[in-house]
Structure 1
């Protein structure tokens, strides 16, 4: 027991020393202002309004050699060496590859290390230069790269996540093919998806459904408005109080007790 505690204490000590060394490295890095975690004051609307933001969807070869600013989620991050790191970032259904290549006065080794250790699904602000690689890029929707010049974490996701977006994005057919080939792929069950719906909704298929439903609803509204209809929002009636509160507006509806819905959340 004593040996276990001693080993645990030694491990903690080494971790603290590594953290202190990392802080020291950042403090002497002349490019330290180009990366790091943002404070809440730095991400409030007043600090980002007026800046020109570029969507991942619009990143094409037409923007070659242009500087862009994006607010995106980190889908994957890994270091190839201490001087090079790759990030795959996502906005809605679109993904693009970002590259950090250490160069004097542009990108530091500390910055490469910082970027490679950003947890999946963290929200980051990236400013960089769009380039067109000579070979097609596999695994991203956009066929350009962004050479990162600054990267700041707006909201760091916990690690590990309860489910991975890549796992949630796999179809049953894909999993079955993997099983037939004696490969092991994680299957995300329905109860797990519902328990962590906020992450599951980021999967490509779910994003596609959201946009398809949105577009169909828009076309219906567009047609009806053209025909002179007006969009109204009517009160909803329930048989009982949806929230169980005392302040409920009750009424008689065709001989039955009814009340105005307080909140639709339980019915969704």
Structure 2
């Protein structure tokens, strides 16, 4: 990031709810202006904006459907128009729909690849172009950073959620390629949580049991993941790697996805 006194601005995708909201709030608490992306949860997005504004003094919400390439390409310019500049993108939004080798098909994979792989690449591309424009305009020390949310299951594979897993594996590979292609102006870092939040597929009791299945006796919390994202954004020497934040769950073998155990 630029060491100037100008407030730093970050776009957090999927920031209306759940993990994205936790990341947005942690960054706002750290002084970042937060652009809150959402797809359909407008009220939740406005609530996140209000909470971020209380912490950092500036936030705004931006809708975009990540299956629509035009909407994706327009998102960063919209954020820049509102805030005047953009320093970072956190790709937290994620499509997570179940399929396996028996139900796999083109449509499911294409849907996951659009949301989970292509969109983060296009947003990184747009950030890099914006940083280059700032350099050309005389801001010689302009820098940017991208954090991609991945998944410990890439290092601990099972046969569930095939299209989702393939799309996240492609994003992990894209992170390496982007780190090389966008250096030295833009850094790219992956953050891979373990089981962090429950879902409609898990009871509270089951979630507590599964969350404890790790060498450390606990997996990641939203606060753990958000703190790691903030660290990745602010540490100027990290790029082209992934930080696993999972209590060591990737070191254990699970035959099924947590939601189906």
TM-score (norm 2): 0.23
Normalized per residue, the structure richer in strand is 1
Q: Which structure has the bigger radius of gyration? A: 1
Normalized per residue, the structure richer in helix is 2
TM-score (norm 1): 0.22
